[in-house]
Structure 1
Amino acid sequence: MFIETAEAALLAYEKRDLIKGALSKLGYLIRNGRLRVAVLGAGGTGKSTLAEVFGEPIGAKKPPIGAYSVSAAAEEARVPGVPFGLFIVGPGQERRRATHWPDIMRGISDGSVDGVIFLAAAGFSSLEEKSFTHHVAYRPGMGLQEWFPLFQEWALREELAALDLIKSAIRNRVNKRLWMVTLVNKQDLWWDDRVRVREWYQGVSVSGVQVPSLYSSCIKELYELRGVVGFEHEFASASFEIVNLATGEEGVIRPTVMGYDEVLRVTNLEHVRELLSRLCGLP
């Protein structure tokens, strides 16, 4: 799910300029010049930022580093050099999914969408609210430290709810292979707790037996719907930028993890690039 060895990290860092170019041109090399990828997930997990990493920036002006700009509608980002290359980014907020996700779900069902990148954030989603006291998980009298674990539980439930919406579209998909990647963003915020993060998404091994988590149970259900021939899922993680989790009023509410650096960030982005290249059938 993530790469942490020093040797691999240094090798990838030495290639960082090449990796950056390869990320932005990934779609350019797709066979037959076509790529339609649905980027879905709960709000605040980094979907629009991902599209900016792999394609042309969305919107006229990118917000300042660390600011959270809410996606109010489905967005599209063209892949440079590919007339039909497209990232379709669905807004993650619950109140907007009902309006903007149905068209994307139809694309998954009718086969016009080739793959799905499901963005997650391990409970470190960016807040839409200006203060944690305005968030739904807040209760009167709570301090920040008391509220944050409840916020994380809420954010993980939101991810499961968003994943659940995709099931019916995959169940009704035409006889065409679909690939999906669960991409856990914001390594820079959870790197010191990465074992727990991996167990939440992939499950835990007990005496050699793999015990599924709530999340991995959902993925298993998708395999049961489509079979191993019609569906392939992979886990990966990365950090699109190294930035503190913050609100407008309180400022930093979760600093980046000490020791997580650009070397690790580039290394794991390279892993994501290699994974997506394979799933898209690139040499």
Structure 2
Amino acid sequence: MPWFETTISVAKAGKIGLDLAKQSKIVRRWLRRISYRFKHGQAFLPVFGAGGAGKSTFPKFVLHESSGLPIIAPGYNQSLVVETAEMVGDIPGKIIVAPGQSRRVPYQWPELYKYINDGSAQGIINVVSYGYHAPDFEKITDHDLYVEGMSLEDFSAVYFAKRREVELEFLDKVLDAIKHISKPIWFVTLVTKQDIWWENRKEVKDYYENGDYFRRIDSYQKSLVRAHCQHEFISASLTLENVKTLAGDVLASTASGYDFEMYERSRIFTLRQFSDLLSRGRLQNV
């Protein structure tokens, strides 16, 4: 699983001497490659996941060149309908983002399932973040999980654990809806908020690779009769930002030492992974 370990270890050893300007140049190069894949492969990618995990930020991360600064997320805003992110100009590729609120799933997600089941989609992306979902509430006292006397730290632990359960529930919905696919497809689990969980990355890695999440993926792959699904884990920091309530109370902070240089190196690594996947086109039956 590409958890950026190799890149970090090399960087710590001093074997990568990239200055920030050069790193930004590399980022732009990979963005252009991804743009090329969309233009010539007509990539069509549905994106699923719970609200606040980073789905709406993901298209900006992979489709648009920035000024060399991290993507700026203007606070969490709920997506009410399916969002379509298109390339600039006449490039035919699209990223289709499903809203992540439970009450909207039954009405909005079937539109994306249709593209997967009829073979239109080249791949599937499921966005998770170890439960570090951007809150859509003003204060912790407004939330159903709050119990009188809870500290901010106590509430955060309960809230993030509950959101991990939501990630599993949403994964079940997606896998159940696409269990009859007839063409090969790749499925990426994008683990975002790398800047938040970086100090606990071994714990996060183990959770997704060896726990209930992967067991569901593995069971799904083995159940397919007419097609093959290749699953990959990719981790990323889509932006550098604390997890905080709408009132500004911080539930989780960016890890100490995870600075802009780390963000740029991580972004290069992540963009390379997606470029490689898009270059393959649709998988062949095996």
Q: Report if TM-score (shorter chain) is over 0.5.
A: yes
Aligned to 1:149: 157
Whole-Å Cα distance in 2 between the matches of residues 47 and 33 of structure 1? 22
With the length of structure 1 as denominator, give the TM-score of the two structures.
0.86
Does structure 2 conserve the Cα–Cα contact (< 8 Å) formed by 1:30 and 1:282? no
Give me the identity figure in percent.
29
1: distance between equivalents of 2:220 and 2:262? 31
Cα distance 1:222–1:266, how it changes in 2: closer, same or farther (>3 A)? farther
CA distance 1:225–1:11, change in 2 (3 Å) = farther
The question of 1:119 aligning with 2:112 is answered no
SS in 1 for 2:178: helix
1:135 has 2:135 as partner: no
Matches within 5 A, 1:56-205: 65=73, 67-174=75-182, 176-203=183-210
Question: Is residue 37–residue 43 contact of structure 2 (8 Å, CA) maintained in 1?
Answer: no
- 8 Å Cα contact 1:43-1:92 kept in structure 2: yes
Q: Distance in 1 between matches of 2:191 and 2:135?
A: 17
What does 1:183-262 align with in structure 2 at a 5 Å threshold? 183-203=190-210, 213-226=211-224, 230-262=228-260
Residues 92-149 of structure 1: CA deviation (Å, up to 9, x unaligned):
1111111110110111111111111111111211001111222232223322121111
Give 2:93's aligned amino acid.
Answer: G
Corresponding residue for 2:4? 3
Name which of structure 1's ranges 231-240 and 11-20 shifts more when overlaid on structure 2.
11-20
Kindly state the Cα deviation for residue 282 of structure 1 after the two structures are TM-superposed. Answer: 5.5
- Determine whether 1:49 maps to 2:57: yes
- The 1:71–1:21 alpha-carbon spacing in structure 2 relative to 1, beyond 3 Å, is farther
- Name whichever of 186-195 and 30-39 sits farther off: 30-39
User: Please, which moves more after superposition, 13-22 or 98-107?
Assistant: 13-22
Alpha-carbon separation, structure 2, partners of 1:117 and 1:101: 13
Contact in 2 for aligned 1:179/1:233 (Cα 8 Å):
yes
* Structure 2 residue runs without a partner (length 5+): 66-70, 282-286
Whether the aligned pair in 1 keeps the contact of 2:56 and 2:97 (CA below 8 Å) is: yes
- Alpha-carbon contact 1:181-1:235 (below 8 Å) kept: yes
1:24-54 Cα distance to aligned partner (Å, 9 max, x none): 6514334744010011111100000001122
> 2:78 is aligned with what amino acid?
V
**36-45 vs 72-81, greater mean Cα deviation:** 72-81
Cα deviation digits, residues 188-235 of structure 1 (max 9, x gap): 1111111110011001xxxxxxxxx10110110121133797111111
Shift of the 112–65 alpha-carbon distance from structure 1 to 2, 3 Å rule, reads: closer
In structure 2, the CA distance between the partners of 1:221 and 1:80, relative to structure 1 (3 Å rule), is farther
Instruction: Give the Å deviation of 1:7.
Output: 2.6
Q: Which runs of 5+ in 1 are unaligned?
A: 58-62, 204-212
Q: 1:27, 1:80 within 8 Å by CA — same for their partners in 2? A: no
Count of aligned positions? 268
| Equivalent in the alignment of 1:36 | 44
Write out per-residue CA displacement over residues 147-170 of structure 1, whole angstroms, 9 at most, x where no aligned residue: 111111111011111111111232
User: Structure 1: how far apart are the matches of 2:232 and 2:225?
Assistant: 14
Distance, in Å, in 1 between the alignment partners of 2:137 and 2:55 is 18
Q: Which amino acid aligns with 1:26?
A: I
Report deviation, 1:250. Answer: 4.5
Instruction: Give the Cα–Cα distance (whole angstroms) in 2 for the partners of residues 273 and 154 of structure 1.
Output: 30
CA contact (8 A) 2:127 2:190 kept: yes
How big is each residue's C-alpha offset from its partner over 1:65-91, in whole Å with a ceiling of 9 and x where there is no partner?
Answer: 461111111100002355320000001
Contact 2:62 2:271 in 1 (8 A): no
Over the aligned positions, Cα root-mean-square deviation in angstroms equals 2.5
State the Cα distance separating 1:23 from its structure 2 match. Answer: 2.5
In the alignment, the residues of structure 1 paired with residue 73 and residue 53 of structure 2 have an alpha-carbon distance, to the nearest angstrom, of: 15
